[in-house]
Amino acid sequence: MSIASIVSKFGRTFYVVHPVPTLAADGSTLWTYVAATPALTLTGFFQPSTQAEDPFQGRGNTRTQGTIYFVGAQDIRIEDEIYTATTGATSVFRVRGVVNPGEIGLTNADEALNFTSVEVTLVAPTITAPT
């Protein structure tokens, strides 16, 4: 199956939010994410790949990692957040890497390679969406 057919058959809606830089009182940069105003609303397919366990205050802190596939070239950047909803219960993914296989130097790239592969880490499983 191609990525387009998988997204068409099993896809769900994702909301991509670009961070907005603001200046903190101490001069450092803060990144603010506003889920109520997503930059992109896309249909994609999430494929979990692994779970990493970082110790946090003496206990395991499990984070699901995976890939979200979108059809076509999309404006998604490292450090963007991807939400499964803009209001109510949502899961929040942080973007770690983005690639479009059709744009990495392949000549005569097949239409099947025209998709965006986004490596993500689940940072907040099922929370109430921030506004």
Domains within the chain, CATH numbers bracketed: 3-128 (2.40.10.270)
Mean pLDDT, 10 residues at a time, the chain of 131 residues: 88 93 88 84 91 60 84 91 85 91 61 83 76 58
- Non-local CB neighbours of 25 within 8 Å, separated by 6+ positions: none
**pLDDT, position 83:** 93
CA distances from 60 to 6, 35, 57, 63, 120 (A): 33, 28, 8, 10, 20
Distance of alpha carbon 44 from alpha carbon 68, whole angstroms: 6
**pLDDT, position 35:** 75
Distance of alpha carbon 4 from alpha carbon 72, whole angstroms: 9
**pLDDT, position 69:** 95
Please indicate, yes or no, whether the overall pTM of this predicted structure exceeds 0.85. Answer: no
For residue 82, give the nearest of 109, 45, 112 by alpha carbon: 45
**pLDDT, position 10:** 94
**pLDDT, position 86:** 77
Helix, strand, or coil (residue 130): coil
Token pair, residue 23, equals 């200046």
**pLDDT, position 108:** 57
